[in-house]
Structure 1
Amino acid sequence: MVTSPGLERTTVLRERRSAAAHIGRICFKTGPPVHTGVELEWTVHDAADPARPVDRERLRAALGRHSPVTLDSTSPARTLRHGSAVTVEPGGQVEVSTAPRPSLAALVLATDADIAELTALLARAGLVLGRTGIDPWRAPRPVLETNRYRAMRRVFDRRGPAGRTMMYSTAGLQVCLDAGEPADLALRWATLHAVGPPLVAAFATADRHAGRRTGWASARMAAWLAIDPDRTRPVWSPDRPDEDPVAAWTRYVLTAPLLCLRQDGADWTPPAGVTFADWIDGALPRAPTTDDLEYHVSTLFPPVRPRGYLEVRYLDAQPGADWRIPLAVLTALLARSETARAARAVAAPVADRWHAAARRGLADPPVAVAATALLDLALTVLPELDLPPEIHEQTSSGIRRRRVAAERGYR
């Protein structure tokens, strides 16, 4: 997240309107939609026995100088050769976060190279990347412990086991798109939300977990939806389709309960039910700062999250190079304002069917109808994205495969 130039990170917040102003400054950076980024997360497995646990030390040895400091406090945490940062999630999932690129082609080529480098590092340690959005073989198990992760687990445990499943077993694909010009922000924001359920279904890969069928097309999305609706439900709603994105996000941030309260000692668990607005109003011994606000924002996990850019968080990890396909679909759907409007209109009838999409996937007929139309729309725009011929053909073929699967869902 980018810190606002107008306020120091340690500015004390004593009024809700000051917090709201800061949120508006940092969370939506408008301008020409030029850059695209991606964050790819995978479960990690022993190459010979994918059900075998992989411990922290084995990951540290495999990643070497690319280990994040949460894994090795002495690590230089070097990026991969093409600029992707490597992080490790609490269940041992490995994630690469790319540098933003000015074209889809540049992003794909650089990311492919960094994935190849990461794959080689892991292979030397007898490890391989997973291919689905949730661990198909192993039950949830902590690998990496930090004050933040302990606090998250304790808060999530208040509601049940879904938090541990999310933290220790899931792997997602996040697409990061510019917020766009001020006049287009509301459209891009609404479109990315509205197309969510059909794209969840079209790219669901998480139906098996811990050695069994889950009954969900995307058990990863099911876990996220079950954690805590105050921090994982969509910000945009078809019930309020024209609400200002900044106002909606500000309300979401201020009314969400705290997940972590950074303080001396190892226990960062906050008092139950205290929201950030409550903190501003004096619910805790000290007043919050702008840095506390930005940290709180990092503990909110809606399907689309504004971080200056728009971060799409609802997609399952994809097998092999298939991560390119949903990336290209989303980029195509937002390539032009008229395309975004068409995508929003197509998805409008199912824009609230998050649970149905996660549960039934393309077996839900209304969601399948919308997914088919969205994939058709993406195919019409794909040639404009200037992908190299081989990657264009592979991506087009992948979209068409999913379109056929979607069409079967309602015929």
Structure 2
Amino acid sequence: MDDALSEPEAAALIFDHSMCRGRVGRIGVELEWFVLPLGDASRRADSAESLRLACLLGDQLPRGSRISWEPGGQLELSGAPFDSVSDCVTAVAADVAVLRDRARAAGARLLGAGLDPRPPCFSVPLPRYQALRRYYARLGHEGDTLLCNTASVQVNVEAGDGSAGWRGRSRRWLLANSLGPALMAMFANSPAPHGREGALSDSSGRQSLRFRTDPFRTGPLPCEGDPRETWTQYALDAQVVGVRRTAPLDSPAAWDPAPAGLTLRGWLRGAGPGAVHPTDVFHHLKSLVPPVRACGHLELRMIDAQEGDDWMVPLAVVAALLDDEPTSDAAASVVAARSLAPTRRDWVDAARHGLADPQLAALARETMTLALSGLKRLGVPPEVYGTVERFAEHHTLRGLAPAHTRQPAHTRQSEREACPAVPEGVTAS
């Protein structure tokens, strides 16, 4: 049934679905890349190349990962959830290898980075993406860059249960949000110019862009209290991107722009067009983009896309922090000792300065050291542990992130190229 909801009914629906998966240990990952034609990384694939790539890539990989497309033609791999981080890494690594081979056969390569230096190009015109584009256009001029020129690693973990310890949802929410700025800084891979004439460079330009472009739906959220109630109030007070019509949802005209400034709470109280139904609530929840999103499980969304196989590192680190009991206990002690309760300002500063902030660098080193110990207990394959250890030695323990070795991406919105659309029928996330 999709009956109209009252405000209390909508609040109950959000509360009940926010952190409803209580198992601990299951973990998944979603990876995004920019697709670059071989031989000329400065241009975007034309329509014929896009069609060939889409046909060769298909929509599913041998170990269960699904392929989809983001608004600017970014390629996304959504791995299936697994019962252990070892199984997750093994399966996704196999699918990534197949995906890279297929991309090369299609004359393309996959770039793991948080920001694309090419001009933004909106090439996947799904109704949901069109609604987002119209929404961002009201807020400024950087919406296309955010939609088309950003890529991330998203780690998905179980929400936890009602217990007070490491399996509990309150502990897991606390660690994900309290250590989130350190994780963002540790894996920052999107240097972007800011300041007068671009003299300075943000460490995670992708996350800075997200905070700057949309101050109404990007969070972050408080660490204390019942996280389900925290999430419910945030979702009710977040602005609505679009309002679905009764036409089929695959119709290009299936979404209307929401009235400017409309929140879900305001809509439920009669300020929006018509009644609010459960489907509207779930579409609204899917549009929310805080660093940690509660959608039954927890999505950690603050991590930039990584080069090569370094996507394994944030996946393994998060698994150790949340799914190994001694590591979780030690991390909670660190959070308490440092009185960590990051505000929005703290997150914005972390995205800008990254590990150049001495306190954040020290927290990142401590966090990484704890994670390395936890990974031994979790029994990850030696090659995975070695990848994390090398990353730590080359980057985190030296106070460096991948952004320190990458040139800032100068996205030029005034420049436009032809925008080849991903062909009809290709899955988009």
Alignment TM class, shorter chain as reference: 0.7 to 0.9
Q: What are the ranges of 5 or more consecutive residues in structure 1 without an aligned counterpart?
A: 1-7, 68-77
- In 1: Cα distance, 2:276 partner to 2:356 partner: 47
- Which letter does structure 2 place at the counterpart of 1:302? P
- 1:21 aligns to what? 12
Answering whether residue 182 of structure 2 is matched by residue 198 of structure 1, we say: yes
- In 2: Cα distance, 1:138 partner to 1:150 partner: 21
Q: After alignment, is 368-377 or 51-60 more displaced? A: 51-60
Contact 1:91 1:169 in 2 (8 A): yes
Answering whether residue 171 of structure 2 is matched by residue 187 of structure 1, we say: yes
Q: Secondary structure at the match of 2:28?
A: strand
Q: Secondary structure at the match of 1:322?
A: coil
Answering whether residue 224 of structure 2 is matched by residue 231 of structure 1, we say: no
Alignment RMSD, CA only?
A: 2.0
Contact 1:55 1:92 in 2 (8 A): no
- In 2: Cα distance, 1:81 partner to 1:191 partner: 34
Answering whether residue 334 of structure 2 is matched by residue 325 of structure 1, we say: no
- Count of aligned residue pairs for this structure pair: 382
- In 1: Cα distance, 2:30 partner to 2:397 partner: 27
Contact 1:174 1:312 in 2 (8 A): yes
- 2:427 aligns to what? none
- In 2: Cα distance, 1:56 partner to 1:196 partner: 39
1:280, distance to aligned residue in structure 2 (A)? 1.4
- In 2: Cα distance, 1:229 partner to 1:380 partner: 37
Q: What are the ranges of 5 or more consecutive residues in structure 2 without an aligned counterpart?
A: 248-252, 402-429
- 1:255 aligns to what? 237
Contact 2:113 2:151 in 1 (8 A): yes
Alignment of 1:339-354 (within 5 A): 339-345=330-336, 348-349=339-340, 351-352=342-343, 353-354=346-347
Q: Secondary structure at the match of 2:217?
A: helix
- In 2: Cα distance, 1:138 partner to 1:381 partner: 39
Answering whether residue 151 of structure 2 is matched by residue 171 of structure 1, we say: yes
- In 1: Cα distance, 2:76 partner to 2:63 partner: 15
- In 2: Cα distance, 1:171 partner to 1:401 partner: 23
1:185, distance to aligned residue in structure 2 (A)? 0.7
1:148, distance to aligned residue in structure 2 (A)? 1.7
Alignment of 1:262-301 (within 5 A): 262-263=244-245, 264=247, 265=253, 268-301=256-289
1:94 to 75, 88, 99: 75
Answering whether residue 204 of structure 2 is matched by residue 218 of structure 1, we say: yes
- Which letter does structure 2 place at the counterpart of 1:157? A
Contact 2:56 2:103 in 1 (8 A): no
- 2:408 aligns to what? none
1:378, distance to aligned residue in structure 2 (A)? 1.1
Contact 1:63 1:121 in 2 (8 A): no
- Which letter does structure 1 place at the counterpart of 2:169? L
Contact 1:207 1:214 in 2 (8 A): no
Name the % identity: 36
1:383, distance to aligned residue in structure 2 (A)? 0.2
- In 2: Cα distance, 1:232 partner to 1:404 partner: 29
- In 1: Cα distance, 2:296 partner to 2:254 partner: 31
Q: Secondary structure at the match of 1:167?
A: helix
1:372, distance to aligned residue in structure 2 (A)? 1.2
- In 2: Cα distance, 1:294 partner to 1:234 partner: 20
- In 1: Cα distance, 2:244 partner to 2:139 partner: 22
2:351 to 341, 348, 358: 358
- In 2: Cα distance, 1:60 partner to 1:268 partner: 29
Q: Secondary structure at the match of 1:383?
A: helix
Alignment of 1:70-219 (within 5 A): 78-135=59-116, 137-183=117-163, 184-208=168-192, 215-219=201-205
- In 1: Cα distance, 2:70 partner to 2:199 partner: 24
1:295, distance to aligned residue in structure 2 (A)? 0.6
| Greater RCO (Cα-Cα under 8 Å, separation 6 or more) | 2
- 1:32 aligns to what? 23
Q: Secondary structure at the match of 1:156?
A: helix
- Which letter does structure 1 place at the counterpart of 2:108? L
- The alignment's TM-score, normalised by the length of structure 2, stands at 0.84
1:386, distance to aligned residue in structure 2 (A)? 1.1
Q: Secondary structure at the match of 1:32?
A: coil
1:266, distance to aligned residue in structure 2 (A)? 5.3
Q: 1:57 to 1:17 in 2, by over 3 A?
A: farther
Contact 1:148 1:268 in 2 (8 A): no
- Which letter does structure 1 place at the counterpart of 2:354? G
